[in-house]
């Protein structure tokens, strides 16, 4: 499968942050929390989010949305069907 690379608009939020914030205002374990990404969990392609101001994280979705970055040090690794895969570039396209 081939995808065209397009830059995100200036000031865009991180894609994983947007996914975690989607759960803000939704009850979790009997309470409401504000969520932010938690990047130190073992499975980088689960949607793991930390409750802001608390010392725990939760897996809020078994898989992050395809295209979510799965390595802090590189935008070339993304989640695809729940797996962290490297993106190959060719003439401005991702393969």
The phi, psi pair for 68, rounded to 5°, reads -70, 135
Mean pLDDT of all residues in 13-29: 97
pLDDT at residue 92, rounded to an integer: 57
- Scan for tokens 């393969």, then name that residue: 95
Mind giving me the DSSP string for 17-65? Answer: HHHHHTTTTSEETTEE--EEE---SS-TTSEEEEETTSS-EEEEESSPP
The two tokens of residue 62 are 């078994």
d(CA 16, CA 65): 8
> What is the per-residue pLDDT across 28-58, written as a single tens digit (0 to 9) for each?
999 999 999 999 999 999 999 999 999 999 9
């Amino acid at each position: 499968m081939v995808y065209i690379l397009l830059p995100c608009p200036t000031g865009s939020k991180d894609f994983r942050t947007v996914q975690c914030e989607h759960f803000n205002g939704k009850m979790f374990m009997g309470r409401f929390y504000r969520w932010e990404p938690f990047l130190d969990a073992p499975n980088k392609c689960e949607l793991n989010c930390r409750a802001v101001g608390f010392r725990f994280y939760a897996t809020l979705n078994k898989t992050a949305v395809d295209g979510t970055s799965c390595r802090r040090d590189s935008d070339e690794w993304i989640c695809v069907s729940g797996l962290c895969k490297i993106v190959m570039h060719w003439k401005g396209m991702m393969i």
